[in-house]
Each structure stands twice: as C-alpha cells, then as structure tokens.
Amino acid sequence: MTIDKELTKVNPAAYAPYRNPREYITSWTDKIWIARGLGHIHDHYSPDVKVHTAYGETYGMDNVISNSLQKMVAFPNRGGGHDDVVWEKRGDDGFISSHRVLNNATHTGHWTYGPPTGKDWVNRSVAHCLVKDNLVVEEWVIRDEFAVLEHLGLDPYKVAADLAKKSPVLGTTINRENSSITALDSIDNVLARGISGPRPDIGRAECETVLALFDRVWNQKFFDEVPEHCADNIVCQTVRMRRVMGINPYQMETMELLSFIPDGKLEVKDICVHDSEDLGLRVATIWLLKGTYSGSPVYGPTNNAPINILGSSHFEFRNGKIIREWRIYDEIAILAQILRNDSVNNN
C-alpha cells in the first residue's frame, strides 16, 4: 500500500536542525546518553514535560534530569542500538515518535536495585514521545526490567516487593485508582485519535489488521485466527529477550501471556504508522491490558489482584501480513501489583 506523502509531511521546524524526525530522536538520544551531555535535556524537553511509566508519572524537567543522572552513574557505559523509530505527524507543528531501543550496560554504580553487582545486562525498551514545536512534551516509557534483574542475578520478587511499597520514580505508594496507567483516557476510535492526539488517516489496512489481532486473538481468544493476520514465518521478540518463530510458537507466546490474566481485556491507546524504503511499513502501538491475576500461577499463587499492564508492540508488515512483532512490557510492575494486593489484604 502506498501512503500519501502529503499526509505524512511534518513541518521541518518540529525537528530542526535534523533531517527528519528519526534523526531528531536518535541524534539527541546519543548526545545525552552516549556523549553524556545531560544538560542537552533542556534543549529537547519541555519544562513541564509529563513522563508516564508502569509505576506512575512525573512532571517537569527536574525529574527527568535527576532520574537520568542517577541512571548514568549506576550504568556509566550504558549503550544502545536504535532498533527503530516509527514516527507519524501530529498536527501542524509536531509528531509522535515510537523509539525502540536495545539497551546494554554494566552495573558499576548504586541504583534503585542496590549496590553495584559488576554484571552486564541487556534489555529492550520503547520511548513513545510526543514532540511539539521541537520539544518533547509528553512521553510514555516501557522497559523490560525483569531482563535487567535476571542478568544482574537479583531477586525480582524482592525488588517488586520493595516497589509495591514505594515507586522508584515517585517515591509514593502505587495507587491503582489514580496511577497513570489506569487514568489513561478511554479511546473511542484510536485510528482517528489516540493519547498522542488526532492522527492522519494513513496505513488504515495495516492498522485494522493490528486492531483485529488484538481484538479477535487477545480479547476474544480466537487463537486459530493468527494465520489470518500473521505470515507463516512470523517472529515475535518479547520480554527477557525471548524470541519465537512460526504460527504455533507465536500462538503459545501470546496464550502464555494471557494465561495468568484470563479475564484481561486489551485496549490500544495509541497507534502510528511509518513506511520507509529501508525498513518497510511498520505500525507502533501503546496498549493497556487490564484484568485480574486469576489464572495460571506464573508469578506465584494467584490472588485475584487487579492487574494493569502498560505495553508496546511494534509490527512490521510484508505483503499485507505481520511478519515481525516486538512486544515489550514490565513484568516487575506486574509483580509489584500482585504483591501489593497480598500486603493490603494481610493488613
């Protein structure tokens, strides 16, 4: 499918002095994190930026700089590969950028998880940034933190128990009623408008394929319909650096995720499409899966804890079908919600 370039054209002032939104995102990310130009955050973030995570949300540039400084000290050799930037126009003066990164680092400084272990870790993350007038005004960040703890040899249950009492971002108790992940607005028609604002009508066929996959397969449990949406050699790369290939393994990966939250319902909160000569057409999503921990005891004994999973999936298309999915969510945040429920009920 050919996308109307006029509908995708972004005002160059929104990403100046870079050549395009992709270069805008990757260049300043390297400038801040690789060259350690932390002060450049002032050049690229709005003073009142809002940052959403699986644990809560922060407001203002001071929090961004403080959290970034601490992370740089804990992981001074932190590198990362820019897996992809899926971007799409938002209004006359901005764009949404879904930046998928393969991170790696060595734990040589103090961090939320404790003193240095000296061990290496690798994970994937997505930074879904809304850029207006050349500044990031809102960001949704999703990280595979379980992979980090696994590589560092730390107990994820102990870390999650600590987070259940106090969020590392906010320093306050996780509150399901008021947290950012439950307060995300209900979306009437994500093809027209998501949490990042109104979007152009592009890539409709591919977007509808993604939405049908989430609705029919994830929500309605028609796992036999996966071949209708995905190529026979579908590859899914997901949390803890797992990789599966083929229809049957893809079905099982999805079923296993849903098995511990069998009443879960997923809603796509944002969607964007980009088609490029080098990578083809990709669809990026932010989604929220809500239900109760009432199925398979994947994370210990089930306790009917309310669970909210903030996730992101990037889909790559070929010949009208999904050939790759990158699926990222935070299992430590899931554990924290389960353990917090036990703590509340035992008090």
Of the candidate ranges 56-60, 86-90, 143-147, 194-198, the one whose mean pLDDT is the lowest? 56-60
* Predicted pLDDT of residue 62: 83
pTM: 0.93
Q: Where are the domains of the chain?
A: 5-145, 180-346
pLDDT of 192 over the 50 cut = yes
- Cα(284)–Cα(126) distance, rounded to whole angstroms? 10
According to the model, what pLDDT value does residue 344 have? 60
- ∠ CA(231), CA(237), CA(243), 5° rounding? 90
Topology of the domain covering 5-145: Nuclear Transport Factor 2; Chain: A, (3.10.450)
- Given pLDDT bands bounded at 50, 70 and 90, which one contains residue 33? confident
What mean pLDDT is predicted for residues 227-246? 98
Confidence of residue 185 (pLDDT cuts 50, 70, 90): low
Q: Do the domains 5-145 and 180-346 sit in the same CATH topology, yes or no? A: yes
Q: Is the pLDDT of residue 168 over 80?
A: no
Dig out the tokens for 279 from the structure.
């990578």
b or e along 205-218 (b: 16 or more beta carbons within 10 Å of the residue's beta carbon)?
A: ebbebbbebbebbb
The Cα–Cα gap between 191 and 304 comes to: 33
Which listed CATH number (3.40.50.300, 2.40.30.200, 3.10.450.50, 3.90.550.10) goes with 180-346?
3.10.450.50
pLDDT confidence of residue 5: 66
In the predicted structure, residue 97 carries a pLDDT above the cut 70? yes
**CA-CA distance, 319 to 302, in Å (whole number)?**
42
User: For 32, what's the count of Cα atoms within 13 Å in the CB-facing half-sphere?
Assistant: 20
Provide the residue type at 284 as one letter: A
Longest Cα pair distance anywhere in the chain, in angstroms?
Answer: 59
Cis peptide before 17 (omega within 30 of 0): yes
Distance between CA atoms of residues 173 and 299, nearest Å? 21
Q: What is the DSSP secondary-structure string of 103-140? A: EEEE--S-BTTBS----EEEEEEEEEEEEETTEEEEEE
Report the C-alpha gap between 139 and 8 in whole angstroms: 21
pLDDT digits 0-9 by tens, 320-339: 999 999 999 999 999 999 99
Mean pLDDT on 161-175: 59
pLDDT in the model for residue 60: 82
Q: What is the mean pLDDT of residues 54-69?
A: 83
**What is the C-alpha to C-alpha distance for residues 301 and 309, in angstroms, rounded to an integer?**
19
C-alpha torsion sign, points 11, 16, 21, 25: negative
On the question of pLDDT at 179 being above 60, the answer is no
pLDDT confidence of residue 176? 45
- The answer, yes or no, to whether residue 232 has pLDDT greater than 70, is yes
Query: What are the distances in angstroms from CA 182 to CA 51, 56, 240, 267, 299?
Result: 15, 10, 25, 12, 21
Confidence grade of residue 191 (pLDDT, cut at 50, 70, 90): very high
pLDDT greater than 60 at residue 136 = yes
Q: Provide the token pair at 154.
A: 């730390």
The model's confidence at residue 3, banded by pLDDT at 50, 70 and 90, is: low
pLDDT given at position 66: 87
pLDDT score of 343 more than 50: yes
Spatial distance between the Cα atoms of 331 and 156, rounded to a whole number of angstroms: 9
